[in-house]
Copies of this chain bind each other. A is one copy, B any other.
Amino acid sequence: MTVGGTNGERRAPATLHDVAREAGVSLATASRSLNGSTRKVNEEYRQRVLAAAAKLDYSPNLSAQAVARGTSTTVALLVADIADPYFAQIAAGVVREADHEGLIVTMAATERDSERELELVRSLRGQRPRVMILAASRRADDPAATALAEELRAFEANGGRVAFIGATEAPHRSVALDNAAGAEALARALVQAGYRGFAALTGAEGLRTAEDRLGGFLAGLAASDLTIAPEHIVRPAFTRDGGYDGMRTLVELGIGEIDVVFAANDVMAVGAMSAIRDAGLVPGRDVAIAGFDDIPTARDVTPPLSTVRLPLEEVGRRALRLALDTIGPGDDLPVRAEVVLRASTPTRAR
């Protein structure tokens, strides 16, 4: 198709100007026929322009369009850690929906550091994205919180849209995950299944998602006048290794009174299962375990992990729709968190 440029011949990409000249029309006409415009243009001209564009392998300079139009086609996504399946699934949803809307997503990782998060938001703002989606976990005691709020307020004042995932951040839109209700339902289900001695592996104090889930779980237990002994609530890192370490702590403490361990997310639960096994015990038999999220591997570990399912990809898609106001069917409904009992929490004969 395109000819020339043997090696390293660095010709600049074709511009709209080139296309217009090639087609023998004005810049305006070329612009109108290539990029959506309300104006009609003579079909013959249009064809000529299209042909010229194809011939020159023209591809519109998105930055230039953004500058000229005063609005970009970008959505910025902030997650804590891309490799974590929780965020990876959300990201997959956002990317898919964005693609659907003809938008481009740029991604950044906070690495669970709220200073970094603030800095990233600040720098991402430079892109003038249409939407910013914040999926990175918020913490209640965040020192950078007000600065972040300020930054987001400014962003919105400039016409940007913000959507949070997980936490409901006061003035912004958000896809609320019913962490508390899901955990509560899980707790009830476990009580129902005959469990009485509980322990919890949850994230660092102040981590919203972790707190909500633990709170819900405790509420579910409270409904049956049960609770968790303070020493049986461990707060390691909110990661697989955190789960492993936390479970080790629990095992060392003595596991006699613990029937089941509630891990505040699945990756922790998976780590915990490995810790249980490394301690010479059998998860599901010697001590049951349940997680939260229903990441894909939950069903592939042994025994399959009981958990609370969150439709994470859908959450990602919905966050974008929400921010864009392109609500789809069912988007008004809350995100359903559904208890999924598997073999890691077998029914206990009492």
Instruction: Please list the residues of chain A having a beta carbon within 8 angstroms of any beta carbon in chain B.
Output: 1-6, 8-13, 57, 59-64, 66-67, 72, 74, 81-83, 85, 88-89, 91-92, 95-96, 99, 104-109, 122-128, 150, 153-154, 156-159, 161-162, 168, 170-176, 240, 270-271, 273-274, 277, 296-297, 299-302, 313, 322, 332, 334
> Are B67 and A8 in contact, CB atoms less than 8 angstroms apart?
no
Chain B residues closer than 8 Å to A57, beta-carbon distance: 154
CB distance from A120 to the nearest CB of B (A): 8
> Are B63 and A128 in contact, CB atoms less than 8 angstroms apart?
yes
Contacts beyond the supplied A13-B154, A83-B296: 10 A-B pairs with Cβ under 8 Å: A1-B150, A1-B173, A2-B154, A12-B159, A91-B107, A95-B107, A270-B300, A274-B299, A301-B302, A302-B302
> Are B5 and A156 in contact, CB atoms less than 8 angstroms apart?
yes
CA distance A122 to B57 in the complex (A): 10
**Given A61-B67, A108-B95, A82-B88 contact (CB < 8 Å):** yes
Cβ-neighbour of A99 out of B72, B108, B156, B175 (below 8 A) = B108
**Given A11-B157, A270-B300, A81-B92 contact (CB < 8 Å):** yes
CA distance A62 to B63 in the complex (A): 8
Copies of this chain, whole number: 2
> Are A61 and B126 in contact, CB atoms less than 8 angstroms apart?
yes
Chain B residues closer than 8 Å to A8, beta-carbon distance: 153, 156-157
CA distance A127 to B61 in the complex (A): 6
CA distance A175 to B2 in the complex (A): 8
CB distance from A16 to the nearest CB of B (A): 12
CA distance A248 to B91 in the complex (A): 31
Chain B residues closer than 8 Å to A171, beta-carbon distance: 2, 4-5
**Given A1-B150, A83-B88, A85-B88, A59-B125 contact (CB < 8 Å):** yes
The 3 tightest CB contacts between A and B, nearest first, are A302-B302, A5-B171, A63-B66
Which residue of A9, A95, A156, A313 has the most chain B CB atoms within 10 A of its CB atom? A95
CB<8 Å pairs between A and B, sample of 21: A1-B150, A1-B176, A1-B332, A2-B170, A2-B172, A5-B156, A5-B162, A5-B173, A8-B153, A11-B157, A13-B125, A57-B154, A61-B126, A63-B66, A83-B313, A92-B109, A95-B107, A104-B124, A105-B106, A300-B301, A301-B301
CA distance A153 to B240 in the complex (A): 42
Cβ-neighbour of A174 out of B2, B61, B125, B296 (below 8 A) = B2
Q: Which residue of B lies closest to A69 (CB)?
A: B63
> Are A82 and B92 in contact, CB atoms less than 8 angstroms apart?
yes
> Are B92 and A126 in contact, CB atoms less than 8 angstroms apart?
no
CA distance A66 to B68 in the complex (A): 13
CA distance A170 to B4 in the complex (A): 9
> Are A109 and B95 in contact, CB atoms less than 8 angstroms apart?
yes
CA distance A156 to B161 in the complex (A): 35
CB distance from A288 to the nearest CB of B (A): 15
CB distance from A247 to the nearest CB of B (A): 12
Chain B residues closer than 8 Å to A176, beta-carbon distance: 1-2
CB distance from A78 to the nearest CB of B (A): 11
CB distance from A56 to the nearest CB of B (A): 10
Q: Which residue of B lies closest to A313 (CB)?
A: B83
CA distance A62 to B74 in the complex (A): 12
